Amino acid sequence: MTPIITALRVALLGLVFAAGLALPALAQLTAESRAYYQDWLKTAERAEQVIDARRASSAALEQLRKKLTDYRQSFLAQRDGNSDRVETLQGQLDALGAAPGEGETEPEDIAALREALNTELDQLQVPRTVSLVAYSRADGLIGEIDKIIRERRTETLLERGPSPLNPEHWGPAARALKRAGQALWNETLAQVASATTFERVRRNLPAILILLLFSGLLIFRGRPWAHSAGDYLRQFGSSGRGVWGFIVSLLQVGLPLLGIIFAVAAVNLAGLTGSRGSFLLDFVPGWAFLILSFHWLGNQLFASKIDNDLIPVQEGRRNITRLMVDVLAVLLVLQDALTKLGEFENISEPAHAVLSFPLILAAALVLLRLHRIGAKRRRQQSAQDEEAEDGAIAAGAGHVFSIARRAIYLLGFISPLLAVLGYVNAAEALVYPAATTLALLAALLVLHRFCGDVYGWLSGKGSEARESLFSVLIGFMLALLALPPLALIWGARIADLTELWSQFLKGFQFGETRISPTAFLTFAVVFATGYALTRVLQGSLRNTLLPKTKIDPGGQNAITSGLGYVGIFLAAVVAISMAGLDLSSLAIVAGALSVGIGFGLQTIVSNFVSGIILLIERPISKGDWIEVGGLMGYVRDISVRSTRIETFDRTDVIVPNSDLISGTVTNYTRGNTVGRVIVPVGVAYGTDPRKVEAILKEVAKGHPMVLLNPAPSVVFQGFGADSLDFEIRAILRDVNWVLSVKSDMNYEIAKRFDEEGIEIPFMQRDIWIRNPEALAQAATPASAGTAFAEAPAAASSAPPPKPDLDDLQQIPDQDADGETDAEK
């Protein structure tokens, strides 16, 4: 019995005692279980009293909330306890059938079995019921505590204090700061002059010297060592210069930071600081990291080369921009130091307002300055599309920072005004998170570019990988990962994030089914496994097993396609069942789907059903030569919605399956590839028809693709306008070669006719001129000269006279019987 189940049974015991009942299971409970439940009851009662009193501090409420969260997680873990056994018992009760109604009886054995199963089922459902009750109570208490803390933070944020511009508060503020500094200095001097400190330094002198040595080397030699490491890494290839440069920049931050950590450790080991100094000294590595990281971000965002900029800045503004970033880091450190100083020094509220106002004003001015820097270049870049190496990245960064710049520009004005009016807490809650948000967004841009460089180095694409789909996906993932830090920056508590995570793990109710991340992950894994197995089985059948059978290619394609549909359907059903989803809840989806089909999915469903019919009935198969809707080609693929036909022009035509079922389809290769070829031939009048027939039969029988049984035949079609018309009709082994066979036969016929002197006629026409003398007179040179002599002006201004073309008439040929071609 696990401790959680034991606790739930103990909780049941408390409920039973409260109701004045007794169960046989009480005798099995242990002292540990009773103690666990008693602790829960005491914690819940104390939480209710604290909530009602509302006098506890926020820190005490956070501690109490943590205990309640632990209990709630235990109850949540047992929400589905004994579910398998409960399912089994419920199945047994279902097998017994419905219980008899009033006035009805059933056999004693069945009644006894039903009663035993119901009793056992009730006992097994106890942990689930108790866990739900306890979970609900714990969840409600946690919600009330969160509400109290949020109300207190809101009151603090909107609390109005004294204005820092009031001169009456300047003197006390200066004296408070001086008093804190003197206390820290005097305490440090007393600690250094202490004999205990001297003895401690003497005893730990070797370790202190080693720490100081390493600290000095790392602080003063860290940057040269980082550059040396970069020179060594560049030996592995120039394609990864972005990666090597990023690693070198990290070393330039990490090595000095490690040196500062060693120096702090040496001071602590020597014991040179008192309680105040030790308290502040513990925050020195964090402050150093803040300053170094901001300096690193400035160098990464505004590089020495304009092409490497992530944020567009004018050439002459780079140094001042990096300086503004460093100043912003120093202001954040000073604000945090002032906050930590107020934790052990009695600094009044007016003094705190006066001391905080210069920092707030300086931070706001820096934010405004950062907003204005690079504005001209941003306008130029938005007006033209840069084709530089990182032009798209810089443009994307500009879009990302556009909204942030506007918001920060607004906060730069609002924060000092709020501080002047006395809302110092609200001003601090706006200006410093705005600066930290800028730093976080900048870090995301730098990491995004680094991931693109790593992908480009590994894939060999170089800087082009920054614009790939992988880079976009990485950016999306980094944006998701940035949401929790952003929430914490803007005042969210860690408890709020854990509460959201708990609600996420809890899932949501959908009908009778609770959908949780675990259920979704189970569904995804099982379905992906089933889908992969289906594809593997399809590949094995298509490439290994089916080719060894006598099934035609179309049948093989139908088997593999049908197996794929069945496999995907079974994978979905098994995944839904394994995830614990209730299939009956899909009735709602089915109803909505039916309505959708009635309105707009008729064509899709018709094509789907037609595709199933094509795969089962197989009027056409993969590889068939068909003609449908004036299109002729080979069937290359049959899916549930459409069929892909490859025409003889090597183009793919997608035909809906419903057209193949409801329309007329000509299948030239259905069942077999035997087909007929017809070759028409015309010979001149006067040629011996029997001789022509013999030659054509020899040509047909001589082709290897022509079947001799049934034998090819020659048909004398009749007397044409210009020729005697014949046709070769032959059965081919493979109708797919019909064009090639027809071409071969035409070549052979031309050769044989040339050898035998047989003429292949062409169309001829005779033209009769009705009045040839008029045409001849108009065309004689003498008459033309006379006309030009008589009318020179007319000849210069008008074209020469043309013959009357109406006198020309086309007279059709007549045969011996006087019948014209048109009449024929």
| pLDDT tens-digit readout, 215-273 | 999 888 888 888 787 777 666 655 556 677 788 888 888 889 999 999 999 998 888 88
Residue 25 pLDDT: 38
Please report which confidence band the pLDDT of residue 474 belongs to, taking 50, 70 and 90 as the band edges.
confident
In 3D, which of 473, 476, 454 has the Cα closest to residue 465? 454
Q: d(Cα 506, Cα 136) in Å, to the nearest integer?
A: 12
Look at strands 642-647 and 652-656 and give their pairing: antiparallel
The residue that leads in pLDDT, 378 or 487, is: 487
Boundaries of every domain in the chain: 3-82+125-157, 168-172+195-490, 507-584, 675-756, 770-809
Q: Are 285 and 260 in contact (CB under 8 A)?
A: yes
Question: What is the dihedral sign for C-alpha 337, 338, 342, 345?
Answer: positive
Residue with tokens 């209730």: 582
Residue with tokens 């929400």: 79
Q: d(Cα 539, Cα 561) in Å, to the nearest integer?
A: 11
| Rounded percentage of the chain residues whose pLDDT exceeds 90 | 12
Please report which confidence band the pLDDT of residue 596 belongs to, taking 50, 70 and 90 as the band edges.
low
Residue 385 pLDDT: 43
**Long-range contacts of 774-777, Cβ-Cβ distance < 8 Å, separation of 24 or more:** 774/803, 774/804, 774/807, 775/803, 775/807
Residue 285 pLDDT: 92
In 3D, which of 517, 530, 589 has the Cα closest to residue 564? 530
Tokens matching residue 823? 């009449």
The residue that leads in pLDDT, 786 or 655, is: 655
Tokens matching residue 424? 């110092």
Helices (H) and strands (E) in the chain, counts: 29, 12
In 3D, which of 590, 542, 547 has the Cα closest to residue 563? 542
Q: Are 556 and 542 in contact (CB under 8 A)?
A: yes
Average confidence (pLDDT) over 340-362:
87
Please report which confidence band the pLDDT of residue 125 belongs to, taking 50, 70 and 90 as the band edges.
confident
Average confidence (pLDDT) over 42-58:
88
Average confidence (pLDDT) over 380-402:
48
Helix (H, G, I), strand (E, B) or coil at 759: coil
From residue 551, alpha-carbon distances to 542, 617, 651, 708 in Å are: 11, 15, 28, 28
Q: d(Cα 694, Cα 226) in Å, to the nearest integer?
A: 95
On average, the pLDDT of the chain sits at 77
As beta bridge partners, residue 465 has none
From residue 269, alpha-carbon distances to 35, 205, 206, 272, 375 in Å are: 45, 9, 11, 8, 50
Q: Where are the alpha helices (DSSP H) in 384-423?
A: 391-421
Q: d(Cα 325, Cα 435) in Å, to the nearest integer?
A: 9
From residue 83, alpha-carbon distances to 6, 77, 89, 782 in Å are: 17, 12, 10, 122
Report the C-alpha dihedral over residues 618, 619, 623, 628, rounded to 10 degrees: -140
Helix (H, G, I), strand (E, B) or coil at 732: strand
DSSP structure string for 435-504: HHHHHHHHHHHHHHHHHHHHHHHHHT-GGGGGGSHHHHHHHHHHHHHHHHHHHHHTT--HHHHHHHHHHH
* From 188-197, 242-251, 770-779, 783-792, the region with the lowest mean pLDDT: 783-792
Please report which confidence band the pLDDT of residue 401 belongs to, taking 50, 70 and 90 as the band edges.
low
Neighbours of 565 (CB within 10 A): 15
Q: d(Cα 590, Cα 585) in Å, to the nearest integer?
A: 9
User: 675-756: which CATH number, 3.50.50.60, 3.20.20.140, 3.30.70.100, 3.40.50.300?
Assistant: 3.30.70.100
* From 287-301, 373-387, 396-410, the region with the lowest mean pLDDT: 373-387
Helix (H, G, I), strand (E, B) or coil at 547: helix
Q: Are 619 and 660 in contact (CB under 8 A)?
A: yes
411-455: pLDDT as tens digits: 888 889 999 998 998 999 888 998 888 888 888 888 888 888 777
Residue 822 pLDDT: 38
Contacts of 415 (CB under 8 A, 6+ apart): 360, 363, 364, 427, 430, 431, 434
Q: Has residue 602 got a pLDDT over 90?
A: no
Q: Has residue 1 got a pLDDT over 80?
A: no
Q: d(Cα 394, Cα 399) in Å, to the nearest integer?
A: 9
Residue 683 pLDDT: 92
Residue 819 pLDDT: 42
pTM of full prediction above 0.75: no
Residue 744 pLDDT: 92
Residue 576 pLDDT: 80
516-570: pLDDT as tens digits: 777 778 888 888 898 889 988 888 888 888 888 877 676 777 788 888 888 888 8
Residue 6 pLDDT: 43
Contacts of 330 (CB under 8 A, 6+ apart): 291
303-312: pLDDT as tens digits: 655 445 566 6
Q: d(Cα 158, Cα 142) in Å, to the nearest integer?
A: 24
Which of 40-49, 234-243, 668-677 has the highest mean predicted lDDT (pLDDT)?
A: 40-49
Residue 394 pLDDT: 43
Average confidence (pLDDT) over 641-661:
87
Q: Has residue 815 got a pLDDT over 60?
A: no
Which of 293-297, 366-370, 662-666 has the highest mean predicted lDDT (pLDDT)?
A: 293-297
The residue that leads in pLDDT, 577 or 797, is: 577
* From 291-295, 370-374, 570-574, 790-794, the region with the lowest mean pLDDT: 790-794
Q: d(Cα 763, Cα 721) in Å, to the nearest integer?
A: 8
Question: What is the dihedral sign for C-alpha 330, 349, 434, 344?
Answer: positive
Contacts of 409 (CB under 8 A, 6+ apart): 367, 368, 371
Neighbours of 396 (CB within 10 A): 19
Is residue 710 reached through a cis peptide bond, with omega within 30 degrees of 0 on the bond before it?
yes
In 3D, which of 547, 574, 575 has the Cα closest to residue 559? 547
The region, left, alpha or beta by phi > 0 then psi within -120 to 50, assigned to residue 86 is: alpha
Q: d(Cα 302, Cα 446) in Å, to the nearest integer?
A: 11
Neighbours of 638 (CB within 10 A): 23
Q: Are 624 and 611 in contact (CB under 8 A)?
A: no
Residue 748 pLDDT: 92
Q: d(Cα 44, Cα 52) in Å, to the nearest integer?
A: 12
Q: Which amino acid is at 359?
A: L
Please report which confidence band the pLDDT of residue 799 belongs to, taking 50, 70 and 90 as the band edges.
very low
Look at strands 665-667 and 652-656 and give their pairing: unpaired
Residue 17 pLDDT: 37
As beta bridge partners, residue 732 has 675, 706
Q: d(Cα 323, Cα 317) in Å, to the nearest integer?
A: 10
Residue 805 pLDDT: 39
Q: Where are the alpha helices (DSSP H) in 81-167?
A: 83-96, 108-124, 126-157
Q: d(Cα 624, Cα 672) in Å, to the nearest integer?
A: 10
Please report which confidence band the pLDDT of residue 587 belongs to, taking 50, 70 and 90 as the band edges.
low
Average confidence (pLDDT) over 565-594:
73
Helix (H, G, I), strand (E, B) or coil at 384: coil
Residue 81 pLDDT: 62
